[in-house]
Amino acid sequence: MTKVNKSYWIINSPETLCFQLQRVGFNKAKGEIEKINDVFKFDKEIYIDRFLLDNEKTYLANLNLIKNLQKKVH
């Protein structure tokens, strides 16, 4: 099974950043839609440069590096 991640990149730093959460999901085992009550947490300070489109390649390269280092540790 392949895991997929979906990313969104910000073109310009906004003055106000809003999060839109999808609070429902489909439970395949039950065959029905259910409410998601997971806590949504984020740091008090967010470094927006990590999410800017201009830094996408750097971020993905660092992410790959981290994954490879974690494989070596385990």
For residue 1, is it within any domain?
no
Q: Exposed, middle or buried: residue 71 (CB in 10 Å: 0-12, 13-18, 19+)?
A: exposed
Under 8 Å between Cβ of 34 and 27? yes
Number of domains in the chain: 1
For residue 39, is it within any domain?
yes
Taking the C-alpha atoms of residue 35 and residue 22, their distance in angstroms, rounded to an integer, is 9
For residue 9, is it within any domain?
no
pTM: 0.53
In this predicted model, what pLDDT tens digit does every residue of 52-61 receive, in sequence order? 999 999 988 9
For residue 38, is it within any domain?
yes
Q: Name the residue range of residue 51's domain.
A: 24-73
Residue 74 vs residue 33, higher pLDDT: 33
pLDDT value for 62: 93
Under 8 Å between Cβ of 34 and 25? yes
Under 8 Å between Cβ of 26 and 69? no
Asked whether the predicted pLDDT for residue 3 surpasses 90, the reply is no
For residue 2, is it within any domain?
no
Asked whether the predicted pLDDT for residue 68 surpasses 90, the reply is yes
